[in-house]
Amino acid sequence: MPPAAATNLGYTPPDGGWGWAIVVGAFISIGFSYAFPKSLTIYFKDIQEYFAVSYSEIAWVSSVMLASMYAAGPVSSILVNRYGSRPVVMVGGVMVSTGMVLASFGTAIIHLYLCIGVIGGFGLAFNLQPALTIIGTYFQVKRPLANGLAMTGSPVVLFTLAPLNQFLLDSFGWRGSFLILGGIVLNCCVAGSLMRPVNKKALKKTEKTEPPECNGGAAEEAATVDTITQSDNLTEENQKESKSQGCVNRFIDISLFKHRGFLIYLIGNVVMFFGFFAPVVFLAPCAKHKGIDEYSAAFLLSIFALADMFIRPTTGFIGNTKWIRPRIQYFFSFAVSYNGVCHLLFPLASEYTGLVVYAVFFGFAFGMLSALLFEVLMDLVGAHRFSSAVGLVTIIECGPVLLGPPLSGALVDIFGDYKYMYYACGVFMLVPGIFFFIMHYFNYRRLDKERGQIVAVDVRTCEEAVELKTNPDDKAAHDTDE
């Protein structure tokens, strides 16, 4: 099996400076991408009455938007590979804005499907991928922290949009609200303008002529850098090889499917996403089913969101520590398993305090997983191939994300009780968690072995190079030494 892809970016990421402005931009983009479809549900009752359709027909708007957002992943990746993050995010912002403005003039439900669902969904995809990608280009050492901070955008924007949407609905009705939301979402263009492409030339000047390190001390340093990146420093020849691959790979990196780490991630995620969103969707209905009143049930969701908001930057910070960072895949496996355990224990909660405790723990679990979700992918495939990787992952995850809640709903309808659905979701999360633990144990072992081999190869080639240099250029060497 070939060693992991090169993360030798060819420059040193700034790990700060303008990078923090990038984090703010990514915060806004990611926030809108995830929170926007969820926050639109407030308008559904009024739109349902206006168009005289059933609730499931109107709920399709959210589903189409989410589906388009995931399905447009590869398109977004191709564009980012070609043009960089900034133009794609700005185009994405304009697209969502246009979709919402057109929807505000819609006269049939199909207009909403097309404008909000398809155009809006594509626009959000053009926001999500580039935001994640650009963090990888600006951060290396502090990347988990940057990712954690950027992913906090999702709960924060949702928390802000929910009351704002209610206010807009009361003041302007659904049409006016869509128009104004079209304006608000245009702020993604502001986020895009912050996403200045990293100045590789300025950072490359410091390492212009970098051949493989030959000094013993330098080799050790390289080894520690490797443990951080979890991939290998390929020699220049290997780099040239990987670049001269087929035409398709210029657009999107299909060779990722041969990548061991990527496959582990993909298989685990596909199973996990079946049970990921359903517990959130059914938290309030389940609480009402247990006899809790509507306001307390809504309050549970707020508790969940607050716990989520708090844990994401914390997880990023923890993931960045020197104990966790080299083995961050285990941290991710832990987060997935913790989610599973949380859901399996949920049926034990019967009164309101039990539900509150569950909401807090679930909020922590959900936030932990979300904060690490893309960081571990970056860790596995490297920032270079991350853009293509995330595109492929999102389009394959599209299926479980869309099927998860309806399947869970079907479980609830068949058994008439929510606990079987929570058991199922718990299993769907615990099994991938354990899978990740086992597979990454083996993966880390293989990577350590491969790294050991490559360092040995490097040392050998360096010694040979030093020999070559000292033999024919003896005189020049003597000159420089003196």
Instruction: Give the binding site for another protein (CB under 8 A).
Output: 12, 46, 49-50, 52, 169-173, 175-177, 179-180, 182-184, 186-187, 189-190, 193-194, 196, 202, 205-207, 209-211, 213-215, 217-218, 221, 473, 476-477, 480
Percent of residues in the chain assigned helix, strand, coil, to nearest 5: 85, 0, 15
Q: Which is nearer to another protein, 88 or 194 (CB)?
A: 194
CB atoms within 10 A of CB 474: 10
Helix-then-strand count for the chain, H and E: 23, 0
Rank residues 102 and 425 by Cβ distance to another protein and give the closer one: 102
**Which residues have CB under 8 Å from 366's CB, separation 6+?**
280, 304, 308, 339
Tell me whether residue 74 or residue 93 sits nearer to another protein (CB atom): 93
User: Which residue, 148 or 182, is less far from another protein as judged by CB?
Assistant: 182
The beta-strand segments (E) located in 264-354 are: none
Q: In terms of CB distance, is 64 or 100 closer to another protein?
A: 100
| Smallest distance from another protein to CB 475, Å | 13
Cβ closer to another protein: 150 or 189?
Answer: 189
Give the other-Cβ count within 10 Å of 105's Cβ: 11
At its nearest, how many Å lie between another protein and the CB of residue 44? Answer: 14
Among candidate residues 62, 23, 17, 41, the one with its CA nearest the CA of residue 312: 23
In the bound state with another protein, the residue whose beta carbon lies nearer, of 119 and 411, is: 119
- Give me 308's structure tokens: 């989520």
389 near 256, Cβ under 8 Å? yes
**DSSP secondary-structure letter at 347?**
G
Q: C-beta of 106: minimal distance to another protein in Å? A: 11
What is d(CA 433, CA 265) in angstroms, rounded to the nearest whole number? 11
**Rounded to the nearest whole angstrom, what is the least distance from the CB of residue 289 to another protein in the complex?**
17
CB 36 within 8 A of CB 124: yes
What is d(CA 443, CA 446) in angstroms, rounded to the nearest whole number? 5
Classify residue 321 by its DSSP letter: S
What is the C-alpha to C-alpha distance for residues 239 and 458, in angstroms, rounded to an integer? 14
Smallest separation (angstroms) from another protein to the CB of 297: 18
Measured between alpha carbons, how far is 418 from 424 in angstroms, rounded to an integer? 10
Cβ distance to another protein smaller for residue 170 or 467: 170
The full length of the chain comes to 482
Residue 160: CB minimum distance to another protein, A: 14
